[in-house]
Structure 1
C-alpha cells in the first residue's frame, strides 16, 4: 500500500484532512497530515512538507510516497516534491490548477476581489483573516458540505500568512518529471471534458498535462471533497497511486477533434463571409436594397490569447452565421478578449463595440438586433438585460454558464444575469439547455430560470435532453436539431422575421 502525505489548503489545517486520513488508514494505507502551522512565507511551508518526507525516508519505509496538495497546499506540496523528487512516486492536485515556477500562490487565489486588492497594494507581510461561515463559498464551491462540515471549516480556520501567497514558487524542474494526478471537483466547474477542450486551444500550461503519467479523476462534489466525501476521495487517491485515471489523450495519443470543430448538426449551405476587423458578417442576398435584422453570435470561453483558429473560424460559429443568413437575416460572429475568467469587462467592451459596428452597417436594420450567447459568455448577458436598449429585440443562449462558477473566484456583480432578470422588465430571452450538462453549470442555469420566472421575464426554453455542452458538434440527435431550429424560429419571430 502507498503512503500519503496530505497538505491542507488556504485557511485550513490538519482537521480538514482527518476524515480522509482515517478512510485511507481503514483501507490499509498510511497517511501523514502536514500541519503547515504559522509561518512567514511559502518556503517555511515547503520546509515543513520536506521534513515529513525526510522523516518517512529516515524510517526506512519502502512504500511509494504520494504527496497530495489541496488548494494553496499544492504549492508547498510541489515545492517539497521538487526538493525530494527521489522519494516521491506521484503528486496529486485536489481541485487546484497547475502551478508554475516563479509564480506565487496569489495568482491562483480563489477570491478575485481579495487577489486584486492584494496585488494592487503590493502587501507581502501580515495575515489574511479567515472567512466567516457564510463566506466560504467565495473561496470555492460548498456543494456537498453539511452544516457540520461548514462548522468544522469555520471553527478550525486560521489566518493565512501573506508571505505564503506572495512568495514565488522556486522549482528546479524535478517535480515536473514526476507522475501526477488531478482530482477535479465538478461543483467547482472542473471536468475532464473542459480540460480537453482547453487543451485543444493550445494553452501551453495545459498542453503539458497531455502526456503519459498524468491522469485525472472527477468527483461530483465541491471544493472540499476531504470533508464532503472522504471515502470517495480516499478511493480516488488509492487509484491515483496505482496509476489509474483518465488522460487528456486518446488511446492513440492524439488529441481528439474538439466539439466546436466537428461537423455541425444541421446541413447549412455555404454563404460568403465578409471579414471586418474582429467581425465576420454573413449577409443574405438583397440586404443592400432592404436592410435586414442581425443576430450577433457570441462565443464562450475563456479562450487563451493566441489560440488558433480563433472562435469565428470554428465550425460551430461559421455554421451559425450561415444558418442565420439562410433565414434572411445578417449573421455576425466575432472574436473577443475573454482569455481568462477575470476578463469579462474587456470582453463585454469588445461586444459593445462590435454591436455598434453592426448597427452602423447600411445593410443592417439597426432597430432589430438579437444577441446569441454560448457557454462561458453567459455572464455577458447581464449588461444587456440591464440596459434594455429598444433596438435589442431579444437575447438567446445555448448551454450557457449563467454566472461565474465557484472555482473562478469572480465576484463582479455586473455579470450576474439572475440578479437582473429577477427585477423584471428585461428583453425576451431564448434559452437552449443541454440535458447532460455538468451540474455546476446546470445550477447557474436553474438559478437564472427561477429568477426569470420570479421577475416575470419573458423566457422561452428549449431542451436537448440527450445533449451535452457543445452538442452542435457532439450530439446530432433529433432533439438537438429540433431545439436549434425552434430557438432560431423564436429569435426570428422576436426580430419580426417569423
Structure 2
C-alpha cells in the first residue's frame, strides 16, 4: 500500500488536498494531508521535526512525500532524516532548494522579501487577487479563491527565513517533479538548464529523477485534482520523463574556447580581470558579463573558465582591452547586487591606465541579459555598444522572483541610438527565445539600432556545445561588430 503524505505551500493546510486525497483513495492508495504548526514562533525546523515525527508514526511500507511550494522544504528535510522510510519525494509547483537555502529565495513578491528581512511577525494570508503574488491563478474558479480566502492562515515568518538543513541522505531518495507550466518552466526548460546551467542541476539528469508537465497554475490540487492525483500515482510507480545526460559532452567550464587565441597577460583587480592588447597607450575596452544564476561556490568561477578567458583574449587580439567580471548573481533575487558589481567593475575598467574611458562596450550573456536594463534606460555617452549573446531579456515563466526593475524591454524607450549587437541562437529554448522576440518588437517600435548575428543551428551556449564552422563564424562576426562600434569604425 502506498501512502501519500501531502504537504501544501504557505498559508495552507491539509484541507488544500481534499480533492486530490479523495481521488488517491479511489485509486487504492492512502492519503495523509498535513497541516503543519501555525504557531507564530514556528520555523522551518519546527515543521521539519513535525513531519519527521509523522513519518516515524506511519507504518505503511511505501511512503511518498509530496511537497507543494514551501512544503517541499520540510518534505526534503524529513526525507533527509529518514531516507530509508521514504520511497519517493514529489515536487509540485516547487523550487529546487539546496542545503542552506531559505524558502524566502523562492518568494515571488519582492515586498514580502523586503519585509521578512527585518520583520519577524507572521505574514497575513493573501485575499482574492492577492494570491497572484504567490503564483499563477490559472484555472482557479471564484469558488476556489473563496476557499483559499476562507481557510488560509497566517504564515510564521521563520518558516520562510530559516535555512534548509540537509545532510545529503535525501540524494538517495528517488524524486519526481510535477512542472505546472502555466506557473513556471516545463520539462524542456529544465533539460536546457541541466545542459547549460549551474552544475548542481546536473544531478537531475539521471535515473533518480522523473518529470511530468501539467498545464496548470500554482494550485493544481484545486484546478486539476484528477490530473494531479493521476500523476502522483504514476510518480509513485516510477514513471515520468527522464532527462538523458550527454555523456560525451564535456562540462561547460571544461570546454576550450572555439577560436584559437594566444596568451595575453592579465591583471586581477577585485572582481575584474583586464586583458590589455599589445602596444602602449589607452585603447577601447569590452567588458564580458557572464550569465546566471551561478552557484556561489562554483569552481572555476566564470572569469576563470576557458570560455570567458577565450573571449577576452580574442578581443585583445583584435586590439581592444578585453575584460571579465565575476558578479554575484547567485539566485534570481540577486540581480540588484549583480548590477552593483557590474557598475563597480565598469568604473574600475574605465580607470585602468590602458583603457580609453570614453570608449566602452558591454557584452552580456544568457541570464545576465536582464542586467542590460540600466544601460539601456540611460546609456552614458562613453558606452559605445551593448552586445547580447542568447540573452534573457524579459522574465520567462518561473523567474517571477526577479525584481520588477530588471526589464530590458521596457528600458528600450531610453536607449536612443545606442548600438546593440544581438547574437541569436536558432535552437534557443522557446521561453528564452520569446523574450528576445519581445525585445526586438520593442526595438522596432523605438527605432533602436540593432544588428542581429544569427546562429541558425546553434543552441544556448553554442560556443561550447556546437563547435561548428558556423559557430566560429558567428563569434568572429559578433566580435568584429562590437570592436568596430567601440572603436568608432562603424
Shorter-normalised TM range = 0.7 to 0.9
In structure 2, the CA distance between the partners of 1:284 and 1:105, relative to structure 1 (3 Å rule), is closer
Q: 1:395 deviation in Å?
A: 0.7
Tell which deviates more after alignment, 72-81 or 372-381.
72-81
State how far apart, in whole Å, the 1-side matches of 2:395 and 2:468 are.
29
Q: Deviations over 1:365-409 (max 9, x none)?
A: 332221010112112111111231111112111122224555455
Provide the residue aligned with 1:242 in structure 2. Answer: 237
- What is the total number of aligned residue pairs between the two structures? 477
Secondary structure, aligned partner of 1:165:
helix
Structure 1 residue 370 corresponds to structure 2 residue 365: no
Provide the residue aligned with 1:176 in structure 2. Answer: 170
Provide the residue aligned with 2:344 in structure 1. Answer: 353
Secondary structure, aligned partner of 2:405:
helix
In structure 2, the CA distance between the partners of 1:133 and 1:264, relative to structure 1 (3 Å rule), is same
2:439 to 440, 444, 448: 448
Whether the 8 Å CA contact 2:198–2:294 is kept in 1: the answer is no
Whether the 8 Å CA contact 1:388–1:426 is kept in 2: the answer is no
Secondary structure, aligned partner of 1:128:
coil
Structure 1 residue 399 corresponds to structure 2 residue 386: no
State how far apart, in whole Å, the 2-side matches of 1:16 and 1:351 are.
44
Provide the residue aligned with 1:129 in structure 2. Answer: 125
Provide the residue aligned with 1:264 in structure 2. Answer: 257
State how far apart, in whole Å, the 2-side matches of 1:443 and 1:426 are.
24
State how far apart, in whole Å, the 2-side matches of 1:240 and 1:22 are.
17
In structure 2, the CA distance between the partners of 1:32 and 1:338, relative to structure 1 (3 Å rule), is same
Whether the 8 Å CA contact 2:332–2:402 is kept in 1: the answer is no
2:422 to 431, 443, 452: 431
Q: 1:325 deviation in Å?
A: 2.7
Give matches, 1:285-434, under 5 Å: 285-286=278-279, 288=280, 291-404=282-395, 407-408=398-399, 410-423=401-414, 425=416, 427-434=418-425
Provide the residue aligned with 1:69 in structure 2. Answer: 67
In structure 2, the CA distance between the partners of 1:24 and 1:263, relative to structure 1 (3 Å rule), is farther
Whether the 8 Å CA contact 1:133–1:150 is kept in 2: the answer is no
Q: 1:135 deviation in Å?
A: 5.6
Structure 2 residue ranges without an equivalent (≥5):
none
Whether the 8 Å CA contact 1:432–1:464 is kept in 2: the answer is yes
State how far apart, in whole Å, the 2-side matches of 1:489 and 1:446 are.
24
Provide the residue aligned with 1:8 in structure 2. Answer: 8
In structure 2, the CA distance between the partners of 1:107 and 1:325, relative to structure 1 (3 Å rule), is closer
Structure 1 residue ranges without an equivalent (≥5):
none
In structure 2, the CA distance between the partners of 1:160 and 1:317, relative to structure 1 (3 Å rule), is same
Q: TM-score of the superposition, structure 2-length normalised?
A: 0.80
Q: 1:52 deviation in Å?
A: 7.1
In structure 2, the CA distance between the partners of 1:135 and 1:320, relative to structure 1 (3 Å rule), is farther
Q: Deviations over 1:198-239 (max 9, x none)?
A: 553xx6xx69x5798741426375645556766665565344
Q: Deviations over 1:3-33 (max 9, x none)?
A: 3232221234557546655665676655444
Whether the 8 Å CA contact 1:268–1:322 is kept in 2: the answer is no
Provide the residue aligned with 2:96 in structure 1. Answer: 97
> What RMSD, in angstroms, separates the aligned Cα atoms of the two structures?
4.0
Q: TM-score of the superposition, structure 1-length normalised?
A: 0.79
